[in-house]
Chains A and B, each alone.
Chain A
Amino acid sequence: MKKVKKQSNQPSTEFDQLSSEYSQDQAAPEIVPHQSKIRRSLGWSALTIVGIAILSGFFTTSYSDEGTAEEVVANRISTATEAGENLFTEENNANIEARDFEVTNAGSDGGEARMLIWDFNLEDFDEVAVLVDGVPVKEKLILSENAAAISIPVPSTVTVRGVKDVGGGISYAVKFPNNKSTYFNVVTVGQSNTYTVLPRP
């Protein structure tokens, strides 16, 4: 009670209280040597990483740059999608049908190109087989959120065949980093999708 009375007698404002707290904070003794320098170093590091993150924003893309997930998948070919991106949180085929694609500008003639393949909606570990020019490259490839890479010759014909459907159909996305295009597709067990990979003109 006495303490409260004493406090009320003091002509201190809220600002004074705050500033005194602030000065206390500033005057806190150092716990380790060079603590203030460590703090400053960390502050500059944090500022630098903020700057780098802003700059990196110019290089990173996402499917959302092209519209909603439904729109992007319905358009079938996307140039903004990053490999491994999940467009849906549930297992559905986004109302698309199995289709064959012609992949143009996939690399230099006679060279090699990378093909990335992943599950673009709920990760349910469906299985596919990948054949290049009729020769099996992967007899069993479990589709997951983490894209798998397959090296393919240019030109060639890549076939993706459905092996195991855990439920809701086998939906997957294929990306060719060389032409920066992602192709959304679905396949059923035993059926195949073909990608005709063509070189740069």
Chain B
Amino acid sequence: MSGSFRTGIGGRIRRERTVRFRFDGVTYAGVEGDTLASALLANGVHLMGRSFKYHRPRGVLGAGADEPNALVEVIRDAGRTVPNLRATQVELYNGLEARSQNRWPSLAFDVGAINNLMAPFIPAGFYYKTFMWPRKAWDALYEPVIRAAAGLGHAPTDPDPDSYLNRYAHCEVLVVGAGPTGLSAALTAARGGGRVMLVDEQCEPGGSLLSEPDVRIDGLSTRDWIARTVAELNANPRVTILSRATAFGYFAHNMIAVNERLSEHQADPVPGAPRERLWQIRAGEVVIAAGAHERPLVFPDNDRPGILLAGAARTYLNRYGVLPGRRVVIATGHDEAYRTAIDLSRAGVEVAVIADLRPRPTGPLVELARALGLPIRTGCAITGSKGGRRVTSARLSAILGAGKLGPPDEIACDAVLMSGGYTPSVHLFSQSRGKLRWDEALSAFLPDVSAERERSAGACRGVFSLEAALADGATAGAAAAGVAPPTPLRTTAVDAEPAGVIGAVPHDRGPGARAFVDWQNDVTSKDLKLAVREGFQSVEHVKRYTTNGMATDQGKTSNINALGVLADELKRPVEKIGLTTFRMPYTPVTFGVLAGMARGDLFDPVRTTPIHGWAVDQGAVFEDVSLWKRARYFPQGGEDMEAAVRRECVAVRNACGIFDASTLGKIEVVGRDAAEFMNRFYINAWTKLGIGRCRYGVLCREDGFVMDDGVVGRIAADRFHVTTTTGGAPRVLNMMEDYLQTEWPELDVWFTSTTEEWAVIALQGPKARDILAGLVEGIDLSQEALPHMALTEGQICGVPTRLFRVSFSGELGFEINVPASHGRRVWEAVWAAGQPHGLTAYGTETMHVLRAEKGFIIVGQETDGTATPDDVGLAWAVGKAKPDYVGKRSLARPSMSAPDRKQLVGLLTESPETVLQEGAQIVASLGLKAPMPVIGHVTSSYYSAVLGRSIALAMVSGGRAKMGETLYSPAGSGDVPVKVVGPVFYDPEGARLNV
């Protein structure tokens, strides 16, 4: 390329500050204030990417969020590689390293470009039509090849080292967009005294004014007016301005999600410094001042590098001091392109021709261009371009009417700047579920009926004139804040005619010509027409079939042109075709900012018991049970889990074990109707339960299936200490509140979660009483005073305790409830007192084995939400005389007592060493081939050290009638024969409990 395309003066850049960066391995120089796109253009580089489907060489098209072509990866290191960034929005910093996408091995020579030559064979819907069958080829061939060829950029290979922040915010008025309209709206709204937030995606406020150096507002230059406005806003403590902050989602009840980029623009962000912040802003009123996007022209070969939007070219010139070329062709259907022509001409660029589709364009801008002597051809269509990696000429034809074109004319140029007019950005409005209407005069969808407390202002609702937009913003800001609008500001802006063109430019190029509508997804006008010919009528179907508007740019440049093409083809007006739905995010956001601070230590709360630290000190291995960490086993001297569990089990059966049961859910049920509530709620009978006695309670849902279980102690006539499963506590409490508040509000009873009030130390084994004896005060531990399933209150180690005589192991057992703060101290005292007795700490794994030996169920292991109390052998718990309890009516359904229901049984393998897999299926006979009838499954399976053999619990269809029968469990090594036995393997008489 021939030298620098940087102008000598002008723009909002700092020419004296050189910034070095690399693009595809080549080092370039830009200046401070550049974007990656403007810096590359200043170096004469237009080729910035390859298209997604055809891998066609592509230059930058726009200058902002709407950019479909110039997608790049920015690489800091292996953990910080960000794909799919728009080069037009990447702020340049020293050392920036960027890579183009969709090319291999290089941008200039791309093997995938073979797709371009194959284009006639890859029409719309090609994937759907071609890769249908044979089915096997999909896995082996189609999918791998498509996956290798597709995709935009590369994900980082290392974990993301950056941090991300979150913030909730509230304001009376939120203004989205800090262009002239948004600044005007925020300024007015702030005068109402409420909290005002102004968010803008760019690095500084100003929006379109940043590209308007020559206009004066209220007698000030745009630079000074922006500065004055921002200063007034900043001086107001009730105003917050966020830059580099994209409002990407509009959620119900005026919740706006904003992605604020904190360090993306910095050359050397402080290590660990936050990269982005997610704002969730709840606004009383929202003013959307999102501006508009320029429409490209849909003409053959309109995607060559060097062909860009006229407004973008003007932004590069006026904001970045960059020339898009030396000799340009302006192709337009709208006045705004004349502004570009005029500014470029004044900057010394040769305007070869302004080709205007309109037969008789008028207005001050056209007249100004004429007065400057710029060559203008009216009624003139651009029908093609030439060039390799850069456009070299434009093909122009006169429009003769009735679909006829005059002979073509080739105009040499190094850039084509096009404009079809401006499309209001209704993305956020549409996300808010507001209804749009089609405005024929503007060829645009405009906000019509709001669904939220929201108003659009300025260009995003079709008010394009600067003076009118400033006034519109002020009016919207005033209305949002409930204040009177100020006197309108005067400007020196020359207005453009708002109307433009949509759809395809007429051409005479034959069927092979490709006029792109959607640059990013490579959709041409021909694809859209093909979709219609193949029978697609709905715009939603056409979108999915052709993928028009489905790329990461959300069709910002393509949607309206696509509608224009469809309207022509369907012979229907645009408003009858309708628009596809806009979805968040407005521009792509990182996963990091959505995850926010919920990473690492803070991903979830890690709940630990008061005794946790002791278990850590002892080298316990932990498991996650809901959010809790529970000690699973306590390995000694290099034991594996199996060895540790066998030792722990034997110790409990022969001496004593100590177990941290603090995570058990606990609910205090208090009130004079407490017993009545318990009676209605649990399946058991409670009224006759004596004070100081416990009962194993079973809770069903209303559909009759077991939901939870746990021991319930009666502390006083009006007070029950209810325990639940570890994971079930919130569910049970919620269900209690549900029935009390909504079905039985007449009951005088209240529930309080006491899970964390008490540390629970389970002491289980024949020596348990001996160990406790020296620690308690005022408690008679004898079998007579405190029998199995009794409880008492008193003191242990000087602190109050609720002492339960209960057992989940089948041994003599106590559960010592002490205030949580004292849990560790009491545990250590019990531990010390137990040492002479061989006291052994055990974890959840041993607890599971011990209870399985006794045939005690675990809700959620033996039950799966479809087991009745009778299915799991708990029919005895039902208070049969009760007229009602939750689940009773459902349990009376005949199917709930059908003889072939799955029932809890024990299983014994022939070989005592064979431990069945939990979850393994049970079948009736040997040698069945899948799919075979399955009659049950293994729910719990362990090696029992004390029994010297394996044991298993299972749910088997009609299991209780199959006692003694041999069934089979299919396993990888063949069917394992199992004998059906009762579920209680150890001490079936319960002799060890009542000692």
Asked if chains A and B come from one complex, the reply is no
Which residues from chain A sit less than 8 Å from chain B, CB to CB?
none
